[in-house]
């Protein structure tokens, strides 16, 4: 048995691990490298031959740096199955198509911008939506803790990793030469006590080899409670000033956590009722996938569902442009709207500048007074930093790119 790190070695994107055993080989994850545009395009277009020729693939979770090159893998000739959890398969259906659309928009933008240059070589996306469908055809969706056999002589199971919906640790029991060796591949791991998701599962032990994600290995998390406290403080203060709040947030996980926390605060009477907008088709679709998978929720969230119904059931407006026409109480006349914003990437038409995320389009348009708040949501930030720091900050002439944004998940 041999492990080869074909991606995300000494860097944090493009996860790709090859496990070679007597009967064949398995890859775990096939993520997109996310870096400078040109380097990313080159690296993502050409995958290692050993990965393409692997017999099976296992996907730990749907984040694009773990799943985003699966369509390229299949397009390049990979013939095996892609095993993952049911929730991850459902998330990938939206996220990989979104990735294809972002690539198409990016290519169209650059070709339009530089197309008159005679030396310009037109850019084509690494894959399109049809390639995504071909990849989805290879997905085999599984429940947690259901043993399966990706290769003869290899028994695998997926354990909850508590990172995002559907995320999994992978346990491989490799039987060869009359012995069994156990490998644990953590994938990205969550932490205990986060809203909505169950805590990471304790894996079986002992293991013979542990492959552990270590991106934040040198960080100490702040208390989880600070997120709720900070959100309450920012919402109350901003509503009292008659302002709006913009929260740039990831479409998967952060958006739903925020909805859950706001719902809890509202039910507890700690904040007043206020309109919430999700300006991201992807975040709205992902929220639908969350609704489909209550089996991934922790006890608290499930009992909240039982007691209050759908915790994500705020009136959702798909597009931030709808806000301008909102005449509802709390709408423009009352100026105490809470505007929640997803980072779902640009739309193909009309083509915005692709490098600017959706949240970055809004501050300059809508936050023109001291009453408003930009609230980059950092759930691990101690009180007084991150979320709180921007609260009520007057608009300066600074570029939106300089605002503190959530780090890579």
Residues making contact with Zn ion (CB under 5 A): 63, 188, 409
Angle (deg, nearest 10), helices 254-267 and 299-308: 50
- The least CB distance from residue 13 to Zn ion, in Å, is 10
The Cβ of residue 285 has, within 10 Å, a number of other Cβ atoms equal to 19
- How far is the C-alpha of 136 from the C-alpha of 70, rounded, in Å? 9
- The least CB distance from residue 4 to Zn ion, in Å, is 21
The residue among 90, 89, 36, 97 whose CA lies nearest residue 71 is 97
Nearer to Zn ion, 188 or 257 (CB): 188
Kindly list the distances between the CA atom of residue 108 and the CA atoms of 12, 100, 288, 361, in Å, as whole numbers in the listed order.
Answer: 28, 12, 30, 19
* Residue spans of alpha helices (H) in 242-334: 254-267, 281-292, 299-308
Sheet of 16-21, strand order: 2-7, 16-21, 24-28, 56-58, 81-85, 139-142
The residue among 328, 322, 335, 309 whose CA lies nearest residue 281 is 322
- The least CB distance from residue 409 to Zn ion, in Å, is 5
Nearer to Zn ion, 21 or 30 (CB): 30
- The least CB distance from residue 187 to Zn ion, in Å, is 8
Nearer to Zn ion, 188 or 279 (CB): 188
Nearer to Zn ion, 345 or 388 (CB): 345
- How far is the C-alpha of 19 from the C-alpha of 377, rounded, in Å? 37
Nearer to Zn ion, 188 or 230 (CB): 188
- The least CB distance from residue 34 to Zn ion, in Å, is 12
- The least CB distance from residue 216 to Zn ion, in Å, is 11
- How far is the C-alpha of 85 from the C-alpha of 91, rounded, in Å? 10
The Cβ of residue 208 has, within 10 Å, a number of other Cβ atoms equal to 14
Nearer to Zn ion, 106 or 213 (CB): 213
């Amino acid at each position: 048995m041999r492990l080869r790190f074909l991606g995300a070695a000494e860097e944090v994107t493009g996860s790709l691990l090859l496990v070679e055993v007597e009967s064949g080989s398995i890859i775990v994850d096939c993520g997109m490298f996310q870096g400078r545009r040109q380097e990313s395009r080159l690296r993502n277009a050409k995958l290692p031959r050993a990965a393409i020729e692997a017999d099976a693939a296992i996907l730990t979770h749907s984040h694009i740096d773990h799943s985003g090159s699966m369509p390229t893998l299949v397009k390049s000739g990979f013939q095996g199955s892609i095993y993952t959890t049911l929730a991850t398969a459902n998330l990938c259906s939206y996220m990989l198509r979104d990735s294809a659309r972002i690539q198409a928009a990016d290519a169209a933008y650059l070709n339009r911008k530089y197309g008159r240059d005679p030396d310009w070589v037109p850019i084509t996306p690494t894959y399109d939506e049809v390639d995504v469908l071909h990849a989805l055809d290879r997905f085999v969706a599984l429940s947690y803790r259901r043993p399966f056999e990706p290769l003869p002589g290899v028994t695998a199971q997926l354990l909850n990793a508590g990172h995002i919906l559907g995320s999994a640790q992978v346990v491989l029991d490799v039987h060869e030469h009359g012995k069994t060796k156990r490998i644990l591949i953590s994938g990205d791991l969550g932490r205990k006590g986060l809203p909505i998701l169950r805590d990471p599962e304790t894996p079986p032990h002992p293991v013979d080899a542990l492959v552990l994600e270590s991106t934040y290995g040198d960080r100490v998390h702040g208390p989880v409670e600070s997120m709720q406290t900070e959100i309450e403080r920012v919402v109350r203060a901003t509503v009292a000033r008659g302002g709006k709040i913009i929260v740039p947030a990831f479409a998967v996980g952060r958006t739903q956590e925020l909805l859950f926390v706001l719902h809890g605060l509202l039910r507890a009477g700690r904040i007043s009722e206020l309109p919430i907008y999700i300006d991201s088709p992807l975040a709205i679709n992902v929220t639908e996938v969350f609704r489909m998978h209550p089996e991934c929720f922790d006890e608290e969230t499930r009992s909240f569902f039982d007691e209050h119904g759908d915790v994500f059931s705020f009136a959702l407006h798909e597009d931030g442009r709808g806000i301008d026409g909102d005449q509802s109480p709390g709408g423009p006349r009352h100026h105490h709207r809470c505007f929640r914003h997803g980072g779902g990437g640009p739309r193909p038409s009309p083509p915005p500048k692709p490098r600017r995320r959706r949240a970055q389009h809004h501050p300059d348009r809508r936050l023109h007074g001291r009453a408003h708040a930009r609230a980059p949501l950092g759930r691990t930030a101690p009180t007084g930093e991150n979320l709180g720091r921007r609260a009520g900050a007057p608009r300066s002439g600074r570029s939106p790119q300089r605002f503190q944004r959530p780090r890579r998940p």
